[in-house]
Amino acid sequence: MSGSFLLIIVIGLFGMFVQSRLKSKFKKYSKLHLQNGLSGKEIAEKMLADNNIYDVKVISTPGSLTDHYNPQNKTVNLSEPVYSERNAAAAAVASHECGHAVQHAQSYAWLQLRSRLVPAVGISSKFASILLIVGIFTVEAFPQLLLLGIVLFAATVVFTIVTLPVEYDASNRALAWLDEKNMVTATEHDAAKDALKWAARTYVVAALSSIATLLYYVNIYSSRS
């Protein structure tokens, strides 16, 4: 078993641990009700207004942990529990997604870079997996196929790396706003910070996993081509 393949397995196991802890944390902090009595929707709308952002809508989206900011139509999409509930977990997620809206409004460099990478990642995701699989079986005869697959997959790797500062900055903006505007108590702030910390780690795992996978394919290309 190659070292890069073993690394993929280790990171995969760590990813499962992080996902489990994330769900556990959100379940725990969903029981910590906010003293201000505001819902996730109301917190999001207030954070947008406090940052003079009036062209972004806060809407509800189905599912759990499906929250995201869409820069194309300028919407903060909150999962149903976050949208309507009034707890520390909802406050953390709602303010984090609004952090992305603030990044967009302020032309945050890392967010702009990630947005520019989206078309390339869309193309690479369609063809990279096929080229990588076919390339492995034909590497001795046609090493160019595997190499092309590696290049396309590298675009995805770059995207996951660029995503890290975007996500961490959004969380920092969220926590700073919650504190500055006295939106939460000290206990609620600590809960929101802990929840966002574990959420951010899922992006770290994704980046590490993509890097390890890229190294795995590069190793195959180097040893067999």
Whole-angstrom distance, CA of residue 156 vs CA of residue 177: 32
Question: Which residues of the chain are modeled with pLDDT < 50?
Answer: none
Tell me if residue 97 is catalytic: yes
| Short-list 138, 146, 127, CA closest to 219 | 146
CB 108 within 8 A of CB 93: no
Predicted local confidence at residue 1, as pLDDT: 52
| pLDDT tens, position by position, 13-64 | 999 999 999 999 999 999 999 999 999 999 999 999 999 999 999 999 999 8
What angle (nearest 5°) sits at the alpha carbon of residue 203, between those of residues 24 and 97?
Answer: 80
Q: How many Cα neighbours within 13 Å face the side chain of 91?
A: 31
87: which strand partners? 33
| Short-list 8, 2, 58, CA closest to 210 | 8
pTM for the structure as a whole: 0.92
Q: Name the amino acid, one letter, at 151.
A: V
Q: Which listed residue (42, 45, 97, 188) is catalytic?
A: 97
